[in-house]
């Protein structure tokens, strides 16, 4: 084992992944499975059945204390104060200049705010939150928890086969949750925090479970006919097809929310209040006054364009950059995300990407590339 591998942290399910045939690679400081049987097969399995993803590298945090929602609102542009019990919101952790420090999910559990942040950024997030939040708000890093995502059109029918009950008498079963709802549950005396959410564009759940019980739960899930374990490779191609940005690639501290095409994360009430970190700079761009924007690209031909490739003008001068790119297993063609000048951000605009001295034609397109199939609450 190399030195690099020695310094990598192990997931609670590390040995389980290896036993299941996972090929382990370094990611976010952890040794994680990039694939089991192959990215293409795992990707398509998730789109048609249900995939089990170990996302235990992500940071699970609790914010506890009177006024936690207002305190968090100072750092995020989402409406947290008005978030109902059992509801989840996607939001952005912003620096004082409005740059995106992370994207995260916030759940109002009724007792506290439960946050899920990216693995590669969690230590920085914790330090930032601790320095910015008032002393009355406690921040707990729940690093004794694992996080499993069950994603795909058969996720709900699969999870319904386990005898999972609400911790409340007459409470819901997981299948009663709608997209972006969460609740506390118990399975064989094991407490589970279950959210109807994920990052593949499919229906599914994210399940928080103690590290010591993670293997028991993973075993029970992959024993179901609908479920196979899925690696990071397919997780990346699934989220790319779903048009979902990946922190550290499609956005970072130099990118503002409107540039990242995340206007939906700027809640109306918060825009009106204008009292979150970097609000002045962020709102000056809202809704369409940024110089550049994250867009989707349909790539001509068969060759993928990759992260780092330049978007160029007719003279070959760099005017933008590809931030994620790969081959879409669902569409059987290359797709990408890129930052382009606002004038080129309209759907249908033809642009050029230069890669290895070769220019490749692309068309700006709406995202998602593959429609989302979330289990949304019916509109009244």
Partner 1 sequence: MSRYFTDEHEWIDVEGDTATVGITDYAQEQLGDIVFVETPEIGAELSAGDDAAVVESVKAASDVYAPISGTVIEANDALEEEPALVNSSAEEDGWFFRLSLTDKSELDDLMDEKAYKAFVDDL
Cα 107 to chain centroid distance, Å, stands at: 14
Residue 22, class by beta-carbon neighbours within 10 Å (0-12 exposed, 13-18 middle, 19+ buried)?
buried
Which residues, at least 6 apart from 363, have a Cβ–Cβ distance to it below 8 Å? 297, 298, 300, 348, 349, 350, 351
Among positions 87, 249, 306, 373, the unique one binding partner 1 when judged by CB under 8 A: 306
Q: Report 40-79 residues binding partner 1 (CB under 8 A).
A: 40-41, 43
* Stretch of 87-95, 124-132, 217-225, 325-333 lying at the interface with partner 1 (CB under 8 A): 325-333
- Cα separation values, 329 from 86, 101, 338, 367, Å: 34, 31, 19, 16
Distance (Å, rounded) from C-alpha 256 to C-alpha 266? 11
Binding-residue total with partner 1 (CB under 8 A): 19
* Stretch of 3-11, 113-121, 245-253, 324-332 lying at the interface with partner 1 (CB under 8 A): 324-332
Least Cβ distance, residue 362 to partner 1 (angstroms): 15
Query: If binding is defined by CB under 8 A, does position 33 make contact with partner 1?
Result: no
Contact 282, 101 (CB under 8 A): no
* Stretch of 1-9, 32-40, 206-214, 289-297 lying at the interface with partner 1 (CB under 8 A): 32-40
Q: Which is nearer to partner 1, 41 or 312 (CB)?
A: 41
Among positions 10, 123, 289, 303, the unique one binding partner 1 when judged by CB under 8 A: 303
**341 membership: H or E segment, kind and range:** strand 333-341
Distance (Å, rounded) from C-alpha 57 to C-alpha 30? 7
Residue 91, class by beta-carbon neighbours within 10 Å (0-12 exposed, 13-18 middle, 19+ buried)?
buried
User: In the stretch 158-197, what mask flags binding to partner 1 with x, by CB under 8 A?
Assistant: ----------------------------------------
* Stretch of 37-45, 56-64, 131-139, 216-224 lying at the interface with partner 1 (CB under 8 A): 37-45
Q: Which is nearer to partner 1, 166 or 355 (CB)?
A: 355
Query: If binding is defined by CB under 8 A, does position 39 make contact with partner 1?
Result: yes
Least Cβ distance, residue 238 to partner 1 (angstroms): 11
Q: Which is nearer to partner 1, 34 or 100 (CB)?
A: 34
Q: Report 203-242 residues binding partner 1 (CB under 8 A).
A: 233, 236-237
Strands (E), 3-99: 9-10, 23-27, 30-35, 50-54, 59-64, 88-94
**110 membership: H or E segment, kind and range:** none
In this structure, what is the dihedral angle of CA atoms 304, 27, 245, 236, given to the nearest 10 degrees?
50
Distance (Å, rounded) from C-alpha 53 to C-alpha 238? 12
Query: If binding is defined by CB under 8 A, does position 38 make contact with partner 1?
Result: yes
Among positions 327, 338, 344, 360, the unique one binding partner 1 when judged by CB under 8 A: 327
Q: Which is nearer to partner 1, 39 or 113 (CB)?
A: 39
Among positions 329, 338, 340, 360, the unique one binding partner 1 when judged by CB under 8 A: 329
Least Cβ distance, residue 360 to partner 1 (angstroms): 11
Least Cβ distance, residue 273 to partner 1 (angstroms): 42
Distance (Å, rounded) from C-alpha 148 to C-alpha 142? 14
What is the helix, strand, coil percentage profile of the chain, to 5?
25, 35, 45
- Residues lying near partner 1 in the complex (CB under 8 A) are found at 34-35, 38-41, 43, 233, 236-237, 302-304, 306, 326-327, 329, 334, 356
């Amino acid at each position: 084992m190399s030195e690099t591998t020695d310094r990598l942290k192990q997931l609670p399910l590390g040995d389980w992944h290896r036993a299941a045939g996972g090929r382990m690679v370094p990611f976010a400081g952890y040794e994680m499975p990039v694939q089991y049987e192959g990215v293409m097969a795992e990707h398509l399995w998730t789109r048609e059945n249900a995939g089990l993803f170990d996302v235990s590298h992500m940071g699970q945090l609790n914010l506890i204390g009177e006024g936690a929602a207002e305190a968090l609102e100072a750092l995020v542009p989402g409406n947290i104060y008005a978030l109902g019990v059992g509801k989840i919101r996607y939001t952005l952790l912003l620096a004082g200049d409005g740059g995106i420090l992370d994207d995260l999910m916030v759940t109002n559990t009724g007792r506290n705010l439960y946050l899920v942040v990216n693995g590669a950024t969690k230590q920085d997030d914790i330090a930032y939150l601790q320095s910015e939040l008032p002393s009355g708000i406690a921040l707990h890093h729940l690093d004794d928890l694992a996080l499993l995502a069950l994603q795909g059109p058969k996720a709900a029918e699969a999870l319904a086969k386990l005898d999972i009950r609400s911790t409340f008498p007459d409470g819901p079963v997981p299948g009663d949750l709608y997209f972006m709802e969460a609740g506390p549950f118990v399975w064989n005396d094991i407490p589970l925090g279950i959210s109807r959410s994920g990052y593949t564009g499919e229906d599914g759940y994210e399940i928080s479970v103690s590290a010591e019980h993670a293997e028991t739960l993973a075993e029970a899930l992959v024993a179901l006919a609908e479920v196979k374990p899925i690696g990071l490779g397919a997780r990346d191609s699934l989220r790319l097809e779903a048009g979902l940005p990946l922190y550290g690639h499609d956005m970072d501290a130099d990118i503002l929310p409107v540039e990242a095409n995340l206007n939906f994360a700027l809640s109306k009430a918060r825009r009106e209040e204008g009292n979150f970190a970097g609000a002045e700079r962020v709102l000056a761009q809202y809704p369409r006054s940024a110089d550049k924007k994250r867009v989707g690209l349909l790539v001509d031909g068969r060759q993928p364009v990759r992260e780092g490739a330049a978007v160029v003008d007719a003279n070959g001068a760099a005017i933008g950059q590809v931030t994620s790119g790969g081959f879409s297993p669902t569409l059987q063609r290359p797709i990408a995300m890129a930052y382009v000048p606002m004038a080129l951000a309209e759907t249908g605009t033809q642009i050029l990407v230069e890669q290895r001295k070769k220019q490749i034609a692309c068309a700006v397109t709406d995202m998602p590339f593959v429609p989302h199939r979330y289990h949304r609450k019916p509109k009244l």
